[in-house]
Amino acid sequence: MEIRNSYITLNNLHYYAYHGVAAQENRIGNEYTVNLRLKVDIRRAAETDEVEHTVNYAEVHEVVKSEMAVPSRLLEHVCARISKALLQHFPMIEEIEISLSKRNPPMGADIETAGVTMVCSR
């Protein structure tokens, strides 16, 4: 069997944080959802069944949680910070696709979420 591409995904991570341009967003906060797709060569982990041969998604969550706790004005900035931190902490990650959504943003529209998606690589 040949594994050509492999990804670790973390879907619908929920955080309460204080990101936004409006002053009220920085005071009251909001609910956010993060989705990650991490390109990682998992061939060795598939053979050995050992977590040290892959990226531990519980540790990924801790990095994301830490970055989400730092208030920022723009979701673009938060995504960039999270991506940079993940690339620094996990040398096995080749590429990151990250989506960050804010629930019911204060923009006077009937909208469930607004967000950004970015793809970063080494």
Find out whether 29 and 18 touch, Cβ atoms under 8 Å: yes
Q: How far apart are CA 88 and CA 11, in angstroms?
A: 21
Model confidence pLDDT, tens digit, residues 57-106:
999 999 999 999 999 999 999 999 999 999 999 999 999 999 999 998 87
CB atoms within 10 A of CB 18: 16
Q: Is 39 a catalytic residue?
A: no
Q: Calculate what percentage of the chain has a pLDDT beyond 70.
A: 100
Residue 102's nearest CA partner among 111, 91, 90 is 111
pTM of the model: 0.93
Confidence (pLDDT) at 4:
87
CA dihedral sign of residues 73, 78, 97, 113: negative
- Residues contacting residue 27 through CB under 8 Å, at least 6 positions apart: 18
Confidence of residue 19 (pLDDT cuts 50, 70, 90): very high
Question: Choosing from 39, 65, 84, 102, which is the catalytic residue?
Answer: 102
Q: Cα angle vertex 121, ends 52, 97, to 5°?
A: 85
Domains along the chain with CATH numbers: 7-121 (3.30.1130.10)
